[in-house]
Structure 1
Amino acid sequence: MNNAILAGILWHLVGAASAACFYAPFKKVRHWSWETMWSVGGFMSWLILPAVVSVILLPDFWAYYRSFTLSQLMPVFLFGAMWGVGNVNYGLTMRYLGMSMGIGIAIGITLVVGTLMTPLLQGRFVELFSSTGGRLTLLGVLVALVGVAIVSRAGLMKERVLGINAQEFSLKKGLVLAVLCGIFSAGMSFAMDAAKPMHDAAAALGINPLYTALPSYVVIMGGGALVNLAYCFIRLALKPELSLKADLSVAKPLLISNLLFALLGGTMWYLQFFFYAWGHARIPAQYDFVSWMLHMSLYVLCGGIVGLLLKEWKAVGRRPIGVLSLGCVVIIIAANIVGLGMAS
């Protein structure tokens, strides 16, 4: 495995770690509705940071985006909106299935769809079977899926020991939402593929290869912001028990604290894709579709490790922790198999 590929996997790991930790600041927000908290964090992650980073990187911010036709930008935006729908369904999946089952099904589906659909649509899928590297890469994707399933099983065992149940458990609703979440969340992978002309244009301006994907986030995350913010504001407007005015009328010290924690959570959410772009830039072009598999599987890995560090597994006994550890090892093996495949 050469140094560039190893660096790509490590940067994907950094992005996944940020994704696994991003909700910690949100847990510090008090006396706000989820909709208000998510909107404040979302403004930071989907609108403010992508724009600020692009202003810093691009010699002429507006000229760059005007250089593309509507037919070039629209697929990128719509795939971003597709990813945004997945975000909304993600929360609802947890509501009806619980964290472990919901994460296992949703991430398992989005890992497979987001990873394999791109080469399938490009007509490159069959080619992967004709080379040793391609076959190893596909094997790595399969092993990663097994690892995600094992970690999810460990989480389910933990929830049973601790007596944690879904808010409104409904297998039928939960499975439908998990499938929708898995499919729609893969929109980020599709958006990155559709945004390749934007990446090439950024490279032509002399931008460092690590950063060429970042200007496209203005369009991708703009699509995601449209869906997420619309969902939150509609709920705030229509639900009597929710009130943006009441949320913003809390005592000034609490208001400042809530704003800072929500903005920090939004920043960490953005950083996962900042480092995703760094990792993506190091992956060989013929295997760029595995970026999504690396991100999602390493996200599950980091989520398990963070849970252990925060002592969330302290009272569950040795067996669930053993299953969790096995799942984490399998995901690490999967990343190495994919790395070897790309290096072949």
Structure 2
Amino acid sequence: MGIGIIWVLLAAILLGFYALPSKSVKSYSLENLWGAFWMAAMFVVPVLAGVLLVNGLGATYAQVPNNIFISILALSVLWGLGNLLWGISISKIGMALGFSLLIGISTLVGSILPFFMGGFDQLSTPGGLVILAGIFVIMLGIIANGKAGLLREEGNEKDAESSKKNMRIGIIMCVVGGISAAGFNLAYHVADNIGHIGAISQEQYGNAPWIARIAVMLPSFIGSGLATVLYFSYQLSKNKTWGQFKAPESSKNIFLILIMALVYCASLIIYGLGAYKLGALGTSVGFAIFQTSCIMVANILGIFTGEWKSAGSKSKNWMYSGLAVMAVGIVIVAYGNFMLA
């Protein structure tokens, strides 16, 4: 279990760093940058990894019922739509509130629902109740973190603050996006805990656990990619920015985007390995720790990059309090899982 938690924490750190190379991408509009990224992250990298690394990939999938793949596809498309809705909503309500809403709601939904998808009998056990208590504590920390971000942004001129209608629409989109984004964890749960793709890949074809996670997650990547790539293709056509891919900096840009995609995919595969190591409720425990750690990493990076330099003491105190409460929540969730082991 300790190894599982370490893997999940490592995954969160990688996810916190994956977008850094984007700061060096030049001459690309947002739709070029993120359209190319999602194409690489959802199709190119995972498909190549699956074909090159996983033994018996096609034979493994042949043993899985079609209804499992339909469920995975539907949930992963929701994951992709959740990412898109969040990206749109932050332009209306601001990064701080949008980030906290999306992560908070997706953490709650993605951590609780797996209990009802094969682990309901453990919900009322002492360990299950401790896990639920830990998730509640984590939510309090996320709320405190959101409050810190809102205080930091006070006084900034934002579209979200100039229009109550925009704020209302943005919050609705973010809430729907948060629920949809939990599709990532639920798709993984269906693939591994219900479809047993990982077990088939390991036991019948001799794949190492981390390689088997590629087989588990590949259908989810493709489902999410359908939503995101289609959206950015539309944006590229609408804004007539396809030509920017011919810019002199394109070779460097594509290289940086591939690095981003590799780190992003690696973080999710490592999360899957951590959830697998955490046992029967790994998708509940692991996802709560993963999402919470992502927020903590983002805040810590923000401190080192100067994002909180001009923030007032009240904002910083809320932020530090939120980090501390989230850390306590992680410990409680981990202890609950230890009680079930």
Q: Is the structural similarity TM-score above 0.5? A: yes
CA contact 1:211–1:277 (8 Å) conserved in 2 = no
CA contact 2:79–2:182 (8 Å) conserved in 1 = yes
**Within the alignment, does 1:215 sit opposite 2:215 as a pair?**
yes
1:178 deviates by 0.8
Q: Encode CA deviations 1:84-112: one digit per residue, 9 max, x unaligned.
A: 11111110121111100001111111111
Question: What is the distance in 1 between the residues matched to 2:330 and 2:47?
Answer: 32
Q: Unaligned regions of 5+ residues in structure 2, if any?
A: none
1:289 alignment partner, SS class: helix
CA contact 1:18–1:269 (8 Å) conserved in 2 = yes
* 54, 67, 72: which one aligns with 1:76: 72
**Within the alignment, does 1:319 sit opposite 2:314 as a pair?**
yes
Q: 2:115 aligns to what?
A: 119
AA matched with 2:153: E
Q: Encode CA deviations 1:22-69: one digit per residue, 9 max, x unaligned.
A: 222223222212111112111221112212222343223333333434
Q: 1:331 aligns to what?
A: 326
Q: 2:272 aligns to what?
A: 277
TM-score when normalising by structure 2 = 0.91
Q: 1:110 aligns to what?
A: 106
Q: 2:131 aligns to what?
A: 137
1:59 alignment partner, SS class: coil
TM-score when normalising by structure 1 = 0.90
Q: 1:259 to 1:287 in 2, by over 3 A?
A: closer
Q: 2:27 aligns to what?
A: 31
Aligned Cα root-mean-square deviation (Å): 1.9
Question: What is the distance in 1 between the residues matched to 2:236 and 2:281?
Answer: 45
Q: 1:182 aligns to what?
A: 178
* 247, 252, 261: which one aligns with 2:256: 261
Q: Unaligned regions of 5+ residues in structure 1, if any?
A: none
Question: What is the distance in 1 between the residues matched to 2:19 and 2:36?
Answer: 13
1:317 deviates by 3.2
1:121 deviates by 4.2
Q: Encode CA deviations 1:146-202: one digit per residue, 9 max, x unaligned.
A: 1111111111111226x2635786111111101111110010111011102211211
Q: 1:29 to 1:109 in 2, by over 3 A?
A: same
Question: What is the distance in 2 between the residues matched to 1:20 and 1:267?
Answer: 13
Question: What is the distance in 1 between the residues matched to 2:276 and 2:122?
Answer: 22
Q: Encode CA deviations 1:101-144: one digit per residue, 9 max, x unaligned.
A: 0011111111111111121244x446422x22111111110011
**Within the alignment, does 1:6 sit opposite 2:2 as a pair?**
yes
**Within the alignment, does 1:165 sit opposite 2:158 as a pair?**
yes
Q: Encode CA deviations 1:296-319: one digit per residue, 9 max, x unaligned.
A: 111111110111111211122333
Question: What is the distance in 1 between the residues matched to 2:210 and 2:276?
Answer: 6
Question: What is the distance in 1 between the residues matched to 2:121 and 2:89?
Answer: 33
CA contact 1:53–1:215 (8 Å) conserved in 2 = no
Question: What is the distance in 2 between the residues matched to 1:121 and 1:92?
Answer: 31
Deviates more, 1:18-27 or 1:138-147: 18-27
Q: 2:148 aligns to what?
A: 154
**Within the alignment, does 1:248 sit opposite 2:245 as a pair?**
yes
CA contact 1:100–1:155 (8 Å) conserved in 2 = yes
1:285 alignment partner, SS class: coil
CA contact 1:202–1:215 (8 Å) conserved in 2 = yes
Question: What is the distance in 1 between the residues matched to 2:277 and 2:117?
Answer: 23
**Within the alignment, does 1:302 sit opposite 2:297 as a pair?**
yes
Q: 1:62 aligns to what?
A: 58
Q: 1:166 to 1:298 in 2, by over 3 A?
A: farther
AA matched with 2:96: S
1:287 deviates by 4.8
AA matched with 2:127: G
Q: Encode CA deviations 1:309-330: one digit per residue, 9 max, x unaligned.
A: 1121112233322221111111
